[in-house]
Chain A
Amino acid sequence: SYVLTQPPSVSVAPGQTARITCGGNNIGSKSVHWYQQKPGQAPVLVVYDDSDRPSGIPERFSGSNSGNTATLTISRVEAGDEADYYCQVWDSSSDHRGVFGGGTKLTVL
């Protein structure tokens, strides 16, 4: 089965840029989607298809995907961006199922 690897935590000062990675074997050949989850709330889609943003998501959120690593980039980080972030792909190799990374806790210092 396909495995996605995320760092457990990332810390950044307000106004700086946060980069959260998601590693997987040849992940560049897949579409990667990112979700933000704040404490006590349901996840929210922030980036889909590697780099597209749903309506209502600030332009500060962007994504890229190449080789074995996908990256969610949050520019000009704000205190309200502090949350858990999960990457997700679809594993079509055998079972046709969704796969999530383990999640990354973003701390705004």
Chain B
Amino acid sequence: EVQLVQSGAEVKKPGESLKISCKGSGYSFTSYWIGWVRQMPGKGLEWMGIIYPGDSDTRYSPSFQGQVTISADKSISTAYLQWSSLKASDTAMYYCARHLRSSTSGYYMDVWGKGTTVTVSS
């Protein structure tokens, strides 16, 4: 069974750093793009970026470029999303999702993690 298991909820203060994780199992982790999606409280889904663990090629949405860093450690089949200095506006649920190639172009998300809640408050 293909699974993505995310790290637990985090409560942080503004200005602190954070790295959350997403561990894949049941498939070849290095052969599929894996990405992150933000959902702020009561709001919709926002695509943040993706990484190809096979060669660490990474793409970001312009809205998140420079605000977060996506990385992966293929030796332990784990992708990461990190912040160097959190803001209150980073408070949200963050999902990781495996990306599959669409029949025409681009990708869709077939398997999702259960999400990691990040709360940033002084």
Contacts and interface: CB of A to CB of B under 8 A. Distances in A.
Q: Does B bind A?
A: yes
27 contacts: A30-B105, A31-B105, A33-B102, A33-B108, A35-B109, A37-B45, A42-B114, A43-B37, A43-B97, A45-B108, A45-B109, A45-B110, A48-B108, A54-B110, A88-B109, A90-B102, A90-B108, A91-B106, A92-B105, A95-B61, A97-B59, A98-B35, A98-B47, A98-B107, A100-B45, A101-B44, A103-B44
Nearest to B104: A31
Contacts of A92: 105-106
Contacts of A84: 44
Contacts of B62: 1, 95, 97
The A contact surface, by secondary structure, is strand
Contacts of A101: 44
A72 to B, nearest CB: 14
Nearest to A52: B103
Contacts, number: 86
A52 to B, nearest CB: 8
Interface in B1-58: 35, 37, 44-47, 49-50
A30 B109 contact: no
Contact of A42 (B47, B60, B112): B112
A96 B49 CA distance: 10
Nearest to B4: A42
A96 B115 CA distance: 24
B115 to A, nearest CB: 6
Q: How many A residues touch the partner, as a band?
A: 20 to 34
A48 B109 CA distance: 9
A31 B100 CA distance: 12
A14 interface: no
A89 B44 contact: no
Interface in A1-57: 1, 30-31, 33, 35, 37, 42-45, 48-49, 54
